[in-house]
């Protein structure tokens, strides 16, 4: 199934399950095991191809949690979802969590740091069969906002992702197991995020599938009236996802799978008619 997801003709939708108390979008809502599983299955019913389970927030300013706490949150959920035939990704910065998650059935390791947060991550992934999603990253949640300085954000992000690819290859991860993520919101201003979205073709020239995670992020919120509720970000997030897919993104990581699936269906109908 993993190979089919990587080579699918249509874009892949990754549904988000945050098992954290401080997620920017739904902190604390799905920390409970049963609620997390039920939410994941709802996302699958709505059209998610992959469920991305995370136990530690990586939003700017987030506080790190002990590795054992992260593992206790996510591994049982991953094991249950995998036993039900769901394709699961673990969203983690930590090699120990990645290893435990893969052993529990995760097929993807989604590391927003691209291996920079834990020096053991690339070796751990190389010893597994998991697909590795390498995000573009500068700094830590505590410092990333101060590092959002670029002369050419598209060129620099592309170059820094290429360096992560080189590190992955050196660690023994084959090209067929690499997906790249431009890291929207991580050490980037709103202007940087929009520039990256409008130049996805340059990121795709690196030769790897590209995952875009724009859902509900701050630069989306800036399109809305101040103080708008979180769910108001879902419509513009779905539209961004549709535009990203039209520009060649392999997949999109989203909170509202149903709205995203509808937006992508419009893309497909438009393309078919043209």
- Tens digits of per-residue pLDDT, 7-24? 988 999 999 999 987 555
Per-residue buried b or exposed e for 8-20, using 16+ beta carbons within 10 Å of the residue's own CB: eeebbbbbbbbbb
Mean pLDDT of 31-40: 92
274 within a domain of the structure (yes/no): no
Contacts of 228 (CB under 8 A, 6+ apart): 221
Q: Which residues pair with 211 in a beta bridge?
A: 251
Contacts of 159 (CB under 8 A, 6+ apart): none
The pLDDT of residue 27 is 56
pTM above 0.85, yes or no: yes
The pLDDT of residue 57 is 82
Encoding tokens for residue 198? Answer: 């409008």
Task: Assess contact for 120 and 143: CB atoms under 8 A.
Answer: no
Active-site residue, 271 included? no
Name the average pLDDT for the chain: 94
- Least confident among 62-66, 97-101, 267-271: 62-66
- The catalytically annotated residue of 177, 188, 233, 253 is 253
Active-site residue, 217 included? yes
- Least confident among 10-19, 139-148, 214-223: 139-148
The pLDDT of residue 235 is 97
- Least confident among 17-31, 84-98, 161-175: 17-31
C-alpha 145/C-alpha 143 separation (Å) is 6
186 within a domain of the structure (yes/no): yes
Domain count across the chain: 1
Give residue 52's domain range: 8-269
- The catalytically annotated residue of 216, 217, 243, 258 is 217
2 within a domain of the structure (yes/no): no
Contacts of 91 (CB under 8 A, 6+ apart): 52, 53, 54, 55, 110, 112
139 confidence band (pLDDT: 50, 70, 90): confident
The pLDDT of residue 28 is 62
The pLDDT of residue 22 is 52
Mean pLDDT of 167-181: 98
1 within a domain of the structure (yes/no): no
25 confidence band (pLDDT: 50, 70, 90): low
Mean pLDDT of 216-225: 96
The pLDDT of residue 88 is 98
Q: Which CATH number do you get for residue 161?
A: 3.20.20.20
Mean pLDDT of 102-124: 98
- Least confident among 29-33, 99-103, 141-145, 175-179: 29-33
63 confidence band (pLDDT: 50, 70, 90): confident
The pLDDT of residue 118 is 97
Encoding tokens for residue 93? Answer: 């910065």
């Amino acid at each position: 199934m993993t190979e089919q997801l990587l080579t699918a003709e249509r874009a892949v939708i990754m549904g988000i399950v945050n098992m954290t108390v401080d997620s920017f979008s739904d902190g604390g809502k799905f920390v409970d095991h049963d609620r997390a599983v039920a939410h994941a299955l709802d996302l699958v019913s709505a059209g998610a191809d992959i469920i991305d389970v995370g136990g530690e927030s990586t939003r700017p300013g987030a506080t790190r949690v002990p590795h054992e706490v992260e593992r206790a949150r996510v591994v049982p959920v991953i094991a249950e979802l995998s036993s039900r035939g769901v394709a699961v990704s673990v969203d983690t910065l930590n090699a120990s969590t990645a290893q435990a998650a893969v052993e529990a059935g995760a097929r993807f390791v989604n590391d927003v740091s691209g291996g920079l947060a834990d020096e053991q991550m690339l070796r751990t992934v190389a010893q597994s069969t998991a697909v590795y999603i390498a995000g573009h990253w500068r700094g830590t949640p505590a410092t990333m906002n101060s590092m959002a300085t670029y002369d050419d954000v598209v060129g620099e992000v592309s170059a820094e992702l290429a360096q992560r690819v080189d590190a992955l290859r050196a660690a023994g991860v084959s090209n067929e197991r690499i997906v790249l993520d431009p890291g929207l919101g991580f050490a980037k201003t709103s202007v940087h995020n929009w520039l990256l979205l409008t130049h996805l073709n340059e990121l795709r020239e690196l030769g790897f599938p590209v995952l875009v995670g724009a859902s509900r992020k701050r630069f989306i919120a800036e399109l809305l009236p101040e103080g708008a509720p979180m769910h108001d970000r879902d419509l513009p997030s779905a539209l961004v996802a549709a535009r990203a897919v039209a520009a060649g993104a392999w997949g999109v990581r989203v909170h509202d799978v149903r709205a995203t699936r509808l937006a992508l269906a419009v893309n497909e109908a438009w393309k078919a008619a043209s």
